[in-house]
Amino acid sequence: MVKSTTIRKCNERFAKENNADLVCVFAGATSGSGAGALEAMVGMLHTSTFYVIGRSAAQFASQRKRLEKLNPSCKLEFLEAQVSLLSDVDGVCKQIAGAEKKVDLLYMSPGCIPFGGPRYTKEGLETCFAISYYSRMRLIQNLLPLLRQSSRPRVLTLLNGGKEKPMFDNDIGLEKRWSADAVITHTTTMTSLALGHLAKDDERITFLHVFPGLVNSGNFIRVNAAESSGVIWRVMLMVFCRMITALQLIFGVTPEECGERQAYHLTIDQFSPGAWRIDNSSDIVSERTGGVFEKYRDRGWPEKIWGHTISVFESALATGADREMV
């Protein structure tokens, strides 16, 4: 386990090394752990550019002022987008590609808790599945050409590294067997497998799938049941979310502390190019003989998952375009 004091010392040392002129892309950094990671990185870099992808520039305004005061040498560019929409992801990536020759760091932690029931975007994707997996993979795919131009490219997706479980192998996208637990399982396992596939093709890029542990972000208190839900489920969901919120308050780390840890992951030399699963103690998740992830990997599932992902990209973008024409 890497202690918080060690994390802070490493981050402070990195900040003193005058690391400058980096281009960083952050998605999911307007609240919670993502905001903590963004603040930590802004404080550690010099004359660097940060692209922050989020829903509302107006809501980001106060956070922006704090960051600009923290480090006036850094440039902040806010790109408005609905991260659950692949077409919006494509749009912001085009803006970045039009302005930059490289991307050094890509951080992703847009959040969605699936306990409110399935909700679908105009592109036909279930929202939580899209935010936790498809949109993140689309960001990576679109920015790969720029990441390849960096001398030290690193990609971090904050989700559930090391928590892989068996999927419904004949229903990868959960078109038939959607449930909150299945969404968490599939997005987790698919992320680790997809990053493994990408690491084979890009041997200079470091891909990190990180589990943050329990964070006192207050995200569960904002979960609402679907309108079609019955009274019993609404009450059960409310009680459950309040229990989780209480556990977060008592045992969880602060978003700032979690953010500092992610900044450590983004900058420490320990992680060489390749795909890594990192736990909430900043330890590398060890491979296990007969483990769920290892079984999928050894049976060729990284390639299968990426093939499925590309197919979903194509169908979702076509669906969204068709609906806009109606």
DSSP code of residue 274? E
Contacts 24+ apart (CB under 8 A), 57-63: 59/30, 60/30, 63/30, 63/35
What number does CATH give the domain 4-215+255-320?
3.40.50.720
What pTM was estimated for this model as a whole? 0.93
What's the confidence (pLDDT) of residue 248? 66
Q: Is the pLDDT of residue 321 over 90?
A: no
In the chain, what are the domain boundaries? 4-215+255-320, 217-252
Q: Is the pLDDT of residue 39 over 70?
A: yes
- CA–CA dist 47, 52 (Å, integer): 16
Q: Is the pLDDT of residue 25 over 90?
A: yes
Is residue 94 classed exposed, middle or buried when 0-12, 13-18 and 19+ CB atoms within 10 A define those classes?
exposed
Q: Token pair of 136, please?
A: 């993140």
